[in-house]
A and B are shown apart, each in its own frame.
Chain A
């Protein structure tokens, strides 16, 4: 049995220890926020927070997590009461197909937990691993900027080049 704390709830799972975390989240715990995208750690659709790090859950085996708490997008809020990042993503209409968005939000959340006031460059560097095939990166960044109290893109593009 593998013990796993997800969104504050402890679970004991009887599955192969080399099973990637994503499969356990989706198939065993029925948390469908994190998505399977590439399965290679290239796209970031599966991103969740383990400990205080944004990780690709498709690449990390259950056995390696230990006591580190796991957080998924479901922990941030509900459809009725979205969390600050979720709310901002809705306001900025940052999702097109939406497949990457749970991963985007969790990666952004990991940054804001560590540093609530990142610079434009820190924000862009931190978000680089996650891809959006619809091309809504500009809206995604705008949504995160609002929560991070960063100036909007036009103002930031001057500062961002420094």
Chain B
């Protein structure tokens, strides 16, 4: 009898304790707003250091809408859970971070908590920014607080229930956020450690280049195994030896700074603006990034080449043959064997292209659909878009022809269906 009366009491206590822990996890105090600091509050050295930090962190890439003011937010980020709009991080008191103290800014970067105490979505990569040094955080703060304030509110996020209830992020953070800096790895030299800090922290490379699990966390044990972002494949960063010509540190550093690597190809899609940011940071930073990334390589399984017969059959397929006609008129002027572009400015043959040798046709299709647009005077790479000119079938024929002619790896499957799917995804973005 006595046992029966104790059980509900114990159960009740557990529930109360769980609620207290949950509440403690979910609740964060607001940090009092400040008057937006004057530009003179920051010395020019710190502001200059902040420009480097903000470029390495690619802040402008997400926090600037297409055609919008820098850092004023509004860019839609498509996630599997709905659309999140990047916020305004200009020092506007009403709609930006003008009222944020350095303490509030630091808490946001290290713990994913906004000044008023609400939890930020992990599309903001605080699980990586948390590794930054206090000095870098202060420099980024000085730089952002001295931009022109822009009054602009981001549209409301459109997320599925229950993810639109922010306090639940507290549990996500228990799983994925390990706050604070990490000690140096004494077994490695200073450059490697600097590279790790930039790649795993500020640069948050894994945010795009790692597969995500069902709840949008980076899959443990699969860091840098490649992911999908904005409809593009972010290639694996730990399999760079699998490229037709294995990447070297020097090539990777050149690629990161210029958007082009002589034996690999040109940056496109969401990586293109990242290379523009990196063009302006010190060479030592980019060298360290390349050094660290090349130290992450996994041994590659022996490459499966298509048999000579299969390759010959593939070249004779109807799709590949109509692709050949399209290629002759639309692509050969630049990508054909005798095209001037092949001998100028280290532009590689398609045989070395990462997209052409990838396991899926996704990036090749995206390139053909959208090309690389002009970027004013800073254009290094340009390619016309064919999305408006060609049907899904024609794009698929082109992709299949390019794969068959330039890659020793077997044909892609369901290429036309993939074109249709990618077009739909692109339109929804």
Contacts and interface: CB of A to CB of B under 8 A. Distances in A.
B394 interface: yes
A57 to B, nearest CB: 10
Interface stretch (B171-179, B232-240, B300-308, B383-391): B383-391
Contacts of A125: 67
B389 A61 contact: no
B326 A61 contact: yes
Nearest to B324: A18
Contacts of A18: 324-326, 328-329
B151 interface: no
B382 A59 contact: no
A31 interface: no
Nearest to B341: A40
Contacts of B390: 64
Nearest to B371: A41
B384 A56 contact: yes
A28 interface: no
B317 interface: no
Interface in A27-73: 39-42, 50, 53, 55-56, 59-61, 63-64
Contact of B388 (A19, A20, A55): A55
Contacts of A55: 388-389
Contacts of A3: none
A158 B264 CA distance: 43
A42 B382 contact: yes
Interface string B358-386: 00000000000000011000000011100
Of A20, A56, A59, A121, chain B has the most CB atoms within 10 Å of the CB of A59
Contacts of A20: 329
Nearest to B394: A64
B325 A61 contact: yes
B329 A40 contact: no
Interface in A59-91: 59-61, 63-64
A121 B384 contact: no
Of A18, A55, A125, chain B has the most CB atoms within 10 Å of the CB of A18
A64 B396 CA distance: 13
Nearest to A55: B389
Contacts of B324: 18
Contacts of A151: none
Of B329, B333, B334, B389, chain A has the most CB atoms within 10 Å of the CB of B329
- Which of the four size classes fits the interface of chain A? 20 to 34
The B interface is mostly helix, strand or loop, or mixed, namely: helix
Contacts of B322: 63
B164 interface: no
A60 B388 contact: no
Nearest to B334: A40
B330 interface: yes
A107 to B, nearest CB: 12
Contacts of A129: 374, 384
A159 interface: no
A50 B325 contact: no
A42 B383 CA distance: 8
Interface in A2-42: 17-20, 39-42
Contacts of B326: 18, 61, 63-64
Contacts of B330: 59-61
B329 A59 contact: yes
A17 B325 contact: yes
A17 B326 CA distance: 9
A39 B322 CA distance: 21
Contacts of A19: 329
Contact of A63 (B325, B382, B384, B388): B325
Contact of A42 (B384, B388, B394): B384
B321 to A, nearest CB: 11
Contacts of A60: 329-330, 389
Interface of B: 67, 322, 324-326, 328-330, 333-334, 341, 373-374, 382-384, 388-390, 394
Q: Which 5 A-B pairs have the closest CB atoms?
A: A61-B329, A41-B384, A18-B328, A18-B325, A53-B388
20 contacts: A18-B324, A20-B329, A39-B333, A40-B334, A41-B333, A42-B382, A55-B388, A59-B329, A60-B329, A60-B389, A61-B326, A61-B329, A61-B330, A63-B325, A64-B325, A64-B389, A64-B394, A121-B67, A129-B374, A129-B384
Interface of A: 17-20, 39-42, 50, 53, 55-56, 59-61, 63-64, 121, 125, 128-129
